[in-house]
Structure 1
Amino acid sequence: MSEEQQNNRLDQLPSLVNIRSNRNTSQIDLNFIQKSKTIQSENWEMLQRVKESLESKAFSNFFTSSLAKLPNFKSPQELAKVLADQFIQNEIKKGKKREAKSAIKIQVSQPQTSDNLPALKTPQIKLEKNKFNHIRSKSRDKLRELEMIKEQEREKEQQNKENNKLTEKILKQKNKLLSKDTQRQKEQDKSFVELPSPPIKVQKNIRHTLSITKLQSITPIEPIQQSQPTIYSYFLGGGNNSELIKRVFDIRSDWHQTTNTARANFRWQQSNHGYKYFKLNWHKSHKELLNHFEFHPEISNKKNLLVNVSAACEILKSNPFDIIPVTFAIDFTDPLVESNMSAFYNFYNKNAPESKQLNKQDAQNKLNEIKKKLRIAPSKEKKQLEFQMRDTFTGPDYLWLLKPTGLNRGRGIHVFQEIDNLVDLLIDYQYGYHEKQIETYKDENGQTQQKVVQYLLKTSSFVVQKYIEKPLLIKNRKFDIRVWVFLNTDLSCYFFKEGYIRMASEEYKTNDVENIYIHLTNNAIQQHSDKYGQQELGNQLSFDSVSEYFKSKIDFRGQIVEKMKEMAYFAMRTVATKINKLNRKFCMEIFGFDFFLDELFNIYLIEVNTNPCLEESSPLLQMLIPRMVDDAFVLTVDQIFPIQRDLVSKFPVTNYSDTENMWQLMGELNEIQG
């Protein structure tokens, strides 16, 4: 449309408006009514506002701006009708938008009626939305913060209630004891005979003794003021007779059990899983004691024990196999596995009975076959074993032991003779070895029951150890010796004065490698034998019993026990710079050392166990283990967390004073570190 035509139509605008408002008003109203019938009833108020607006200036402006878009129309009446319909639809849409926008604005401002909705522009609506979202987000964060504060206050209030209850309980107990002491003192006072007052003037609070020669005055002792007791908490992990640890803490009235590991002052668990050692040096106000050292595997892992003892013996130019049995590490994650396997096989072939030995070429072919089966990559370093083993290791059956390095209590141990048996076992363990074990449990009636449990053992780290085929026997049965070693927080190393002997259930013979009740003396294994406990309660003997048994041959306590103490301290010194190399505070640990005697009374350290068995499986252990744990706590727990307690032990042991600590100091490992 040309500019001239547009101007002409603008000139016609007043007449068109007059035509719409005068001549065709009834027609437009009729169209409006018909149109409104098609619209939902809830928009009626909006339609009323639109109808009123047809007479307004807004319609005239809309009419003017729309002329350019409608160049062809038959008559002014038709044009007015079309424009009126469009205007109504636009107003309806605008009304709906206003209501939606007003709903957003009402959330953050005063509510408004639908009759006076504000005509908001788009940028303003966006600002209102952003403002609303910001306020909502901020409010949500504030609510979360308030909820956290309330939760902390509730926990603190609950903890205070528990502490107050315990404090009241302890105070009642102490007041009860004090009242008994007061009553006892009164009874003692009644036993004194009052003498007539002397001619000289004496203070009323001076007592007169029954001395004939002279009167002696005793200054009265003021009663000690009882301070508010300090409450400590301990966390107790399950398993391995954890109830024993609870009994030991029960005699310490200032301690209570908690399930909150974050605020516990002492944690006792079977392993150090979950221990955050890096936090031990942080909180000076909150002391936390842990029952495992961070790097205890330096001595409790069978491979690491071999490595550390061998390294120390190399410095001393001594034979490590005078301390531990002949042992080889086979770790498939170690780059030296090929070298170690070659060293083992060469030693195995060299010391085998003549009927089993291979010549040099056949031995090399066999070794290559083994490496191929086990997929062992070649190693640049070649390792040769220069030391010889004692004659008591050898026998006609040539027995060896395979042990996974990370397991204890006899799990995963196999006795084998042929090298092919070893290769098959190593392959099985890399893919997963199925092991069946019998476990005991108590049913609902408290009766002890047994069940067979199958485990899938999968590991790639082992030690291969020469079986001592000529062991020292008691009543024709194998045995080993369990003793305890304690490492304190300051690396003071102690040896418990009593241990026990673990007996096999069946008589010793080497031609039956499948019968584990002949070869393995662990109580976890022997307890499932049909002959368990038939000759000794719990298959266990005391040091006194063994001393009596061997008294004609050797002084068991004077020679064997002292030698075990010497070897245990040597083993601990090999890890002096490793077991707490990051200088963590407040760690302690009880280790179980297992020793073995050959028929010539040579003694060997078999292994070192973290988390040694605390099961009280015999009257002997019911006497020894509680005292062993309690005396260890006296050296650590009671020193770090001072409490008032009786110096007399609640766990008596035969031939020992109840006031004696049965842990004997061997030495200080921190002196070696320095």
Structure 2
Amino acid sequence: MESFTRSASVKKNKDKSQTLNHTHLPNVKKKETFLRLKLSSIHTSHNWRNSSLTGIDLTLIREPPSSLIIPPHLFDEYEMNSSYVIISDSKNKTISKKNRKSVQLNTKRENSPDQLKDFAIEGIPSQTHKKVFKRPEFINTVKPRISIVKKTNKPEPHNESSVKEIIFWNWLGMIKTSNGFEIYPHRSQFKYYVGKGNNGSLVNHILKSRFWWTRTDCIEEANFVWTQLKNKTILDLIPSYKNCLEKDLNPLTLDSKIPKTLLNENQETFGFKLILESNSFLNLNKNYFLVADSIKTHNRLPNNNCICNKKEMFKNLKIYYDKVGIDIFDKVPLTFHIETGISDRNFQVFIDSFTEGSTWIIKPGEATNRGKGIKVSSSLNQIKELISRRHENRTYIIQKYIQNPFLINKRKFDIRCYALITSFANQLQGYFFKDGYLRTSCKEFNIKNTQDKFVHLTNDAVQKNHEDYGKYESGNKLSYYDFQKFLNSIGSNVDFFNDIFPQIVDIVKESIACAKNLINEEGKMNSFEILGYDFMIDTNFKVWLIEINTNPCLELGCSYLSKVIPDMLDNSFRIALDPMFPPPESHKRFKPWVKSCNLTNKYILVYSSLSSN
């Protein structure tokens, strides 16, 4: 009887439960998981599983790809930003800012995204689910600062520090756009190697000031190698890419988190318009997506001899000027390249040009600098003797001496300028540094005294050995402004910056143009070089190109050079290194660094091999 009663009670409760289920609970539709959307519902217009970033969620990049290049069609899906957050697993990287709220994180025990492809939970999440599956936290990382945007009619004030940060990222964006590449976000510590000689300690000091770089003595592991001479081993490690860069017909748009008037004002103040408003500036499609950790670069161009070698400079400039219909001897003094001594055909042409009393300068045809091997002579017999001294693989340049040089207090001088050439993929770009200096001689000019090198050779390596070095000018150097003061003092109406400076810029541009298909004929992905140009001025204020030097002297011989050369080097690295190896924005030292660094650009963009100008 008791068993029957218990059975009836259970049956009664069961019937009651069924009745309640049908009468009080609503109909529930099957729902997708509240933990994760199905992958098939995300960006169905693009098949991500067939892309090079295989097996990733749209909002979660597990680790940087091993290859250097990522296909350009991926840019449309990402809004690249320099900041990113490492979440839980150090390999999991994602872009913060706009995508931060959409980041989906795997729990520790969760299977891979492929295994969860069709995973779904039916029903309505209970309170228990909400407690267990709470919003993911950032573990073992610095939490990103999430700014709350308040609705207000007044624009937010911008302090000097925040404006400099925006200007800095605009600078990097401008250079990257002109080269057609984008950088994969990183938190790397890059390594650099600096070889000995030519004030390598200054180069080290400037790189050391960039907190995201560290020095290494192992040249093979360095991302950037600085040496006096070309290092073929390093150049061989830089890949070659000859895929064409293409112009973007849309106007350039830079990050404008500040009012346009303030942006334009700062671009003017920091010298950005020397590049942006150049006829050679191009807005290129970003055809390359670089992984900074994998990049190597060198401060030497593969075939720099094509303009830094005296005989090659003359040959290639002549080919270029003949092609564009310009007489090379309107830019370079009358020159003859002698390869086989007095029997050389060009030497016979030289003899026809030689007149009694004319003065000539004889130089080694191959790469030399610092005045080595240079002789001045007015004697034909002496010239014959000089070029008859046969050396293996040695040729000679015989050049007409400028017999009416413009003098400063009766002393000869030349002008040292700097240019930067960058090579990326199939584009060559040339920049001219606004600041340079005059190098003066210690002794008064006398065309008849051909034996005294202190009269004729203004190279620092020569003049610093004279007892009067620094007697008239500090370190025998004058700035452009000092030279203008001298012109004004003698009653000259010549304006250096309007009459002389443009002639120099034109010749620099033409010299880079003549090397367009030569200096990086191997199509190396990325390299650059700083060149030293030497010019002279005659009494008609006509500018003459004397030579182009690789490895120009970086010694700080006077207070003026202590300002010009470090500025030039730092500015060169802001063009050639920083866009390719940018600082990590999330690093605690980033804001103080930007606040204290010098962002002023003094380089004028004068040439692009992809531009018609």
Q: TM-score, normalised by structure 2?
A: 0.58
- Check 1:559–1:337 CA distance in 2 against 1; reply closer, same or farther (3 A cut): farther
Which has the higher mean CA deviation after the structures are superposed, 546-555 or 301-310? 546-555
Matched with 1:615 is: 555
Alignment partners' CA distance in 2, 1:207 and 1:241: 50
Aligned equivalent of 2:417, options 483, 489, 500 = 483
Quote the residue 2:297 is aligned against.
289
Contact map agreement 2:208 2:215 (CA 8 A) in 1: no
Q: How does 1:372-391 map to 2 (within 5 A)?
A: none
- Residue in 2 aligned with 1:343? 349
Mapped to 1, the partners of 2:386 and 2:564 lie a distance apart of 38
Provide structure 1 residue ranges, at least 5 long, that are not aligned to the other structure.
1-204, 209-213, 354-396, 431-457, 651-657
1:270 partnered with 2:228: yes
CA distance in 2, matches of 1:228, 1:584: 23
Superimposed CA distance per residue, residues 620-667 of structure 1 (whole angstroms, 9 cap, x where no aligned partner): 1000000100011001111111115544675xxxxxxx4321111112
Q: Which residue of 2 aligns with 1:580?
A: 520
- Residues 403 and 648 from structure 1, CA distance in 2 versus in 1: closer, same or farther, beyond 3 angstroms? farther
Measured at CA, do residues 216 and 501 of structure 1 come closer, stay the same or move farther in structure 2, by a change above 3 Å? closer
Equivalent residue of 1:489, what SS? strand
Correspondence 1:256-655 to 2 at 5 A: 256-281=214-239, 286-332=294-340, 338-348=344-354, 352-353=355-356, 397-405=357-365, 406-428=367-389, 430=391, 460-490=394-424, 491-551=428-488, 552-553=491-492, 554-644=494-584, 645=590, 646-647=593-594, 650=597
Match in the other structure for 1:252: 210
Specify the SS of the correspondent of 2:578.
helix
Residue identity opposite 1:236 in structure 2: V
Give the deviation of 1:275 after TM superposition: 3.6
Moved more, 536-545 or 227-236: 227-236
Instruction: Work out the CA distance in 1 between the residues paired with 2:155 and 2:334.
Output: 75
Cα distance in structure 1, aligned partners of 2:400 and 2:443: 21
Q: In the TM superposition, what is the alpha-carbon distance from 1:331 to its structure 2 partner?
A: 2.0
Matched, 1:663 2:597: no
- Within 5 Å, which residues of 2 pair with 1:222-233? 229-233=187-191
Offset at residue 572 of structure 1 (A)? 1.0
- Are the aligned partners of 1:648 and 1:659 in contact in 2 as well (CA < 8 Å)? no
- State the distance in 1 between where 2:410 and 2:402 align: 15
Aligned-pair CA distance for 1:276:
4.1
Residue number in structure 2 paired with 1:134: none
Q: Contact 1:298 / 1:579 at 8 angstroms: preserved in 2?
A: yes
Secondary structure of the residue that 1:638 maps to in structure 2?
Answer: coil
Aligned residue number for residue 195 of structure 2: 237
CA shift at 1:337, angstroms? 6.9
- 1:498 is paired with a residue whose SS is coil
Q: Partners of 2:555 and 2:327 in 1: how far apart?
A: 36
Structure 2 contact 237–296 (Cα < 8 Å) conserved: no
CA distance in 2, matches of 1:206, 1:669: 46
In 2 relative to 1, CA 581–207 (structure 1 residues): closer, same or farther, beyond 3 Å?
closer
Residue of structure 1 in register with 2:172 after alignment: none
SS of residue matched to 1:272: coil
Task: Note closer, same or farther for the CA distance 1:309–1:274 as it changes in structure 2 (3 Å cut).
Answer: closer
Q: Over residues 30-87 of structure 1, what are the superposed CA-to-partner deviations in whole Å (9 max), with x where a residue is unaligned?
A: xxxxxxxxxxxxxxxxxxxxxxxxxxxxxxxxxxxxxxxxxxxxxxxxxxxxxxxxxx
In the TM superposition, what is the alpha-carbon distance from 1:310 to its structure 2 partner? 1.2
- 1:648 and 1:564 map into 2 onto residues whose CA distance is 35
Paired with 1:649 and 1:595, the residues of 2 have a C-alpha distance of 35
* Structure 1 Cα separation of the partners of residues 594 and 460 of structure 2: 33
CA 1:665–1:337: 2 relative to 1, 3 Å: farther
Whether the aligned pair in 2 keeps the contact of 1:409 and 1:522 (CA below 8 Å) is: yes
Report the Cα offset of residue 315 of structure 1: 2.0
Q: Quick one: structure 1 residues 416 and 218, their matched pair in 2 at CA, closer, same or farther if it must change by over 3 Å? A: closer
Q: What is the aligned length?
A: 377
Q: Distance in 2 between matches of 1:604 and 1:266?
A: 35
Cα distance in 1 for partners of 2:456, 2:358 equals: 14
Aligned pair in 2 of structure 1 residues 255, 418: CA closer, same or farther (>3 Å)?
Answer: same
Structure 1 residues 316 and 216, CA gap change in structure 2 (3 angstroms): closer
Q: What per-residue deviation string (whole Å, max 9, x for no partner) do you get for residues 226-265 of structure 1?
A: x984111111111001111011111101111111111110
CA distance in 2, matches of 1:229, 1:615: 34
Counterpart AA for 1:296: N
Structure-2 change in CA distance of 1:286 and 1:546 (3 Å): same
CA distance in 2, matches of 1:303, 1:496: 25
1:427–1:229 CA distance, 2 compared to 1 (3 A): same
Q: Please give the secondary structure, in 2, of the residue aligned with 1:550.
A: helix
Q: Secondary structure at the match of 2:423?
A: coil
Per-residue CA deviations over 1:505-540 (Å, capped at 9, x if unaligned) read: 000112211111100000110000011000101000
State whether residues 330 and 337 of structure 1, in contact with CA within 8 Å, keep that contact through their aligned partners in structure 2: no
In 1, the alpha carbon distance for the partners of 2:333 and 2:485 equals 27
| Aligned equivalents of 1:643, 1:483: Cα separation in 2 | 30
In 2: Cα distance, 1:585 partner to 1:217 partner = 43
Q: What is the CA–CA distance in structure 1 between the aligned matches of 2:544 and 2:434, rounded to whole Å?
A: 19
Q: How does 1:6-155 map to 2 (within 5 A)?
A: none
1:404-435 Cα deviation digits (max 9, x unpaired): 122111111001111221222233452xxxxx
Q: Secondary structure at the match of 2:515?
A: coil
Give the whole-Å Cα distance in 1 for the aligned partners of 2:573 and 2:154.
44
- Please identify the structure whose Cα radius of gyration is greater: 1
For the residues of structure 1 that align with 2:380 and 2:508, how far apart are their CA atoms? 32
**Is 2:512–2:607's contact at 8 Å kept on the other side of the alignment?**
no
Counterpart Cα distance in 2 of 1:466 and 1:215: 71
Deviations 1:485-510 (A, max 9, x none): 10113322101011000000000112
Identity %: 29
Task: State whether residues 576 and 672 of structure 1, in contact with CA within 8 Å, keep that contact through their aligned partners in structure 2.
Answer: no
Shift of 1:318: 2.5
1:398 aligned partner, one-letter code: S
Question: Does the 8 Å CA contact 1:576/1:670 hold for their aligned counterparts?
Answer: no
Equivalent in the alignment of 1:120 = none
**Cα offset, 1:327, TM superposition:** 0.7
User: What RMSD over aligned residues (CA atoms) do the two structures have, in Å?
Assistant: 3.0
Quick check: 2:311–2:337 contact (8 Å CA) kept in 1? yes
Q: Distance in 2 between matches of 1:206 and 1:587?
A: 42
SS at match of 2:605: strand
Cα offset, 1:459, TM superposition: 5.5
- C-alpha separation in 2, matches of 1:411 and 1:215: 69
Counterparts of 1:604 and 1:534 in 2: how far apart (Å)?
A: 27
Q: Secondary structure at the match of 1:640?
A: coil
Greater fraction helix: 1
- Match of 2:405, SS state, is coil
1:167-186 equivalences in 2 (<5 Å) = none
Name the CA distance, whole Å, in 2 between partners of 1:274 and 1:489. 16
